[in-house]
Amino acid sequence: MAKSRTIKVDYLARVEGEGALHIRIKDGTVTDAKLKIFEPPRFFEAFLRGRDFKEAPDITARICGICPIAYQMSSSHAMEEIVGARVDGSLRDLRHLLYCGEWIESHALHVFMLHAPDFLGFEDAIQMARDHPELVKNGLRLKKAGNTIMQVVGGREVHPINVRVGGFYRVPTVAELAALRPELEWGLGASIEALEALSALPFPEFERDYEFVALREQDEYAILGGRIVSNKGVDIPIEAFDDEFEEIHVAHSTSLHGRHRRRGAYLVGPLARFNLNFEMLSPEAQRAALKFGPGRTCNNPFKSLLVRAVELVHAFETAIRLIDRYEEPSQPSVPVPPRAGVGYGCTEAPRGLCWHRYEIDDEGIIKDARIVPPTSQNQACIEEDMMHFAGENVTLSDDELQWKCEQGIRNYDPCISCSCHFLNLTVDRD
């Protein structure tokens, strides 16, 4: 008789949002792996229609409490493209700095609070703090350093209020930014030390041949823009996204599954950026990656923990560089007179590509909006990982396998809340 097992996690912990995992195993073979996302959809794209284009950064920020800057930046860029506004020089640097703040708070949260406990066998960071107090305290302090950038440049950590289409409402003084420097210098050193300590964690041996997709810039580690590239030949401007990629609506998820039109599942986020743009990382980040791991390339999704730590080093070093060259711009924003058109924005959220497309009319009213968040793009990849990973570990007990699979999902730092905001509304009448 065939022997069947089902591994079920009904509510995934230490991820942002509501998801579940079901894995079916028959005669020692994994027959099905589903990341079930039951987060209620919030229909942002539907209610963006009819709003003023200048409201887009404030509205789209509410898609995600962990990475609001990603939404504010992608939407602002799209609107600025439509109205022909150029935000460069110090204003662009400020946006870059703000984004570094978001990367730091988001990555530090994930590395130290959400992901590391798995490797050390703790159910959460608070339990972990009893045996590894320095690791958790330093993690919290790193996170706070990122949040302080968010406060000074953005106004607050969650849903910053200072970003507008065309720039900012108020720009910080040179002195306000200089005051951040000592803590960021500490953060640079502490994140390198953290990478060294974390590289000693036990990483499961697991590698796959992924299609990595990320933005690429000629002169910097791409965060704010660039071309969309992959290790399997994609090299397109952001407006051609639909030519290469598609979104599929599957029954078990309120989040659309992203797929490459010909090659299927692809991976976005730290691992993709690292493998595609290693040479653009800051000098200390490159050095630390080569010295303490993960090395020059990394195909083990469990080591995304180390890649996030490398990106922490990069974000701290970049933030310091931006602060050192900062000159207060003469105006906090450039004019953005509305005109009809279509525009695209794509930036690197901590979890990967955050792609937006808007159409507005000549009075600046939004006619159409489309948003592709990173986690929906990673869903198919997560499921394939689970098929392979569970397959290689079927000998583990149910409890062990369940925890290992949870850990495997947390490799992607899934932000489920943001992944399912986009479906159009269907109604169950009450």
Site for another protein in 128-167 (CB under 8 A): 129-130, 136-137, 140-141, 143-144, 147, 155-159, 161-162, 164
Q: Is the dihedral of CA 409, 226, 228, 252 positive or negative?
A: positive
Closest CA to 364 of 342, 338, 336, 341: 338
Residues 74 to 113 in contact with another protein, rule: CB under 8 A = 105, 109, 113
The Cβ-side half-sphere exposure at 51, using a 13 Å CA radius, reads 18
Residues 250 to 289 in contact with another protein, rule: CB under 8 A = 250-251, 254, 256
Closest CA to 80 of 110, 54, 99, 46: 54
Q: State which residue, 136 or 281, has the beta carbon closest to another protein.
A: 136
Q: State which residue, 4 or 331, has the beta carbon closest to another protein.
A: 331
User: Any contact of residue 126 with another protein (CB under 8 A)?
Assistant: yes
User: Any contact of residue 361 with another protein (CB under 8 A)?
Assistant: no
Q: State which residue, 151 or 231, has the beta carbon closest to another protein.
A: 151
Q: Which of 21, 25, 66, 215 touches another protein (CB under 8 A)?
A: 66
Binding marks (x or -) toward another protein, 3..42, rule CB under 8 A? --------xxxxxxxx--------------------xxxx
Q: State which residue, 67 or 271, has the beta carbon closest to another protein.
A: 67
**Residue 148 and residue 142: Cα distance in Å, rounded?**
10
Q: State which residue, 109 or 346, has the beta carbon closest to another protein.
A: 109
Q: Which of 27, 86, 121, 124 touches another protein (CB under 8 A)?
A: 124
Least distance (Å) between residue 125 CB and another protein: 7
**Residue 339 and residue 362: Cα distance in Å, rounded?**
4
Least distance (Å) between residue 36 CB and another protein: 11
User: Any contact of residue 379 with another protein (CB under 8 A)?
Assistant: no
Closest CA to 312 of 189, 396, 419: 189
User: Any contact of residue 175 with another protein (CB under 8 A)?
Assistant: no
User: Any contact of residue 62 with another protein (CB under 8 A)?
Assistant: yes
Provide long-range contacts, Cβ within 8 A and 24+ apart, for 223-226: 223/96, 223/99, 223/100, 223/103, 223/347, 223/348, 224/73, 224/77, 224/92, 224/95, 224/96, 224/99, 224/347, 224/348, 225/77, 225/346, 225/347
Phi, psi of 210 (to 5 degrees): -85, 155
Q: State which residue, 157 or 359, has the beta carbon closest to another protein.
A: 157
Local structure of 412: helix, strand or coil: coil
